[in-house]
Structure 1
Amino acid sequence: MFRKQGSTTKEGIMTITASAQPQQRQWLAQLDLTFSQTAHGSRLSHIKRNGPLSVQKAFYPEGPDCAHVYLLHPPAGIVSGDELYITAKTEQNSQALLTTPGANRFYRARENEQIGHALQLQDTAYTVAANSRLEHLPQETLIYPNANAKNNLTVNVDKQGVYLGWDVISLGLPAIGKEFEQGKFEQLTQIYIDNKLAIHDRLVITPENKLLLARAGLANKPIIGTFYITAPSKLTDKLAQQDLLDALRLQVEDAELNKHVSISLIEDVFVIRYLGQRSAECKKIFIALWQTTRQALYQSQVAQPRIWLT
Structure 2
Amino acid sequence: MDSRLHIIAGFKDGGSYVKDLYVSLPFRVVSVGQRKSDNKLYQMVMSSSPGILVGDHYHLNIELEKGASLQLQSQSYQRLFNMKDKAVQELHVKMEDHTSFAYVPHPVVPHEDSNFQSKANIHIGKNSQIIISEIITCGRKHYGEVFKLKRFQNLMQIYHENKLVIRDNVVIQPDLIPINCIGNLEQYTHQGTLIFYTTKENVDKNNLIETIAEWAEQHKEEMEAGVSAMEDNGFVVRALGHGGELMYNFFLQIQEILWSLE
Change (3 A) 1:96 1:253: same
1:101-116 correspondence to structure 2 within 5 Å: 101-109=75-83
Which stretch of the first structure deviates more once superposed, 53-62 or 79-88? Answer: 53-62
Matching of residue 61 in structure 1 with residue 35 in structure 2 = yes
Which of 218, 221, 225 pairs up with 2:192? 225
2: CA distance, partners of 1:164 / 1:274:
16
Matching of residue 277 in structure 1 with residue 242 in structure 2 = yes
Shift of residue 261 of structure 1?
0.5
1:167-182 correspondence to structure 2 within 5 Å: 167-182=134-149
2: CA distance, partners of 1:60 / 1:193:
32
2:25–2:48 Cα contact (<8 Å) kept: no
Q: TM-score when scaled to structure 2? A: 0.91
1: CA distance, partners of 2:77 / 2:137:
10
Q: Flag the structure with higher strand content.
A: 2
Structure 1: gaps of 5 or more residues: 1-26, 110-116, 299-310
Structure 2: gaps of 5 or more residues: none
Shift of residue 273 of structure 1?
0.8
2: CA distance, partners of 1:54 / 1:198:
32
1:174–1:222 Cα contact (<8 Å) kept: no
Q: Given residue 4 of structure 2, which amino acid in structure 1 is its aligned partner?
A: Q
2: CA distance, partners of 1:199 / 1:212:
25
Q: Which residue of 2 aligns with 1:287?
A: 252
Matching of residue 189 in structure 1 with residue 156 in structure 2 = yes
Q: Given residue 202 of structure 1, which amino acid in structure 2 is its aligned partner?
A: N
Alignment RMSD: 2.0
Matching of residue 208 in structure 1 with residue 175 in structure 2 = yes
1:91-106 correspondence to structure 2 within 5 Å: 91-106=65-80
Shift of residue 244 of structure 1?
1.7
Q: Which residue of 2 aligns with 1:131?
A: 98
Shift of residue 140 of structure 1?
1.4
Matching of residue 242 in structure 1 with residue 202 in structure 2 = no
Which stretch of the first structure deviates more once superposed, 56-65 or 281-290? Answer: 56-65
2:100–2:128 Cα contact (<8 Å) kept: yes
Which stretch of the first structure deviates more once superposed, 258-267 or 161-170? Answer: 258-267
Q: Given residue 114 of structure 2, which amino acid in structure 1 is its aligned partner?
A: A
Matching of residue 143 in structure 1 with residue 110 in structure 2 = yes
Change (3 A) 1:278 1:284: same
Q: TM-score when scaled to structure 1? A: 0.78
Shift of residue 275 of structure 1?
1.3
Secondary structure, counterpart of 2:209 in structure 1: helix
1:104–1:142 Cα contact (<8 Å) kept: yes
1: CA distance, partners of 2:217 / 2:228:
15
Shift of residue 94 of structure 1?
1.0
Shift of residue 258 of structure 1?
9.5
Q: Given residue 230 of structure 1, which amino acid in structure 2 is its aligned partner?
A: Y
1: CA distance, partners of 2:223 / 2:33:
37
Q: Which residue of 2 aligns with 1:113?
A: none
2: CA distance, partners of 1:267 / 1:86:
29
Secondary structure, counterpart of 1:282 in structure 2: helix
Which of 254, 257, 279 pairs up with 2:218? 254
Q: Given residue 5 of structure 2, which amino acid in structure 1 is its aligned partner?
A: L
1: CA distance, partners of 2:96 / 2:115:
34
1:42–1:64 Cα contact (<8 Å) kept: no
1: CA distance, partners of 2:207 / 2:229:
12
1:40–1:64 Cα contact (<8 Å) kept: no
Change (3 A) 1:44 1:257: farther
Shift of residue 64 of structure 1?
5.7
Aligned length: 261
Matching of residue 160 in structure 1 with residue 127 in structure 2 = yes
Secondary structure, counterpart of 2:79 in structure 1: strand
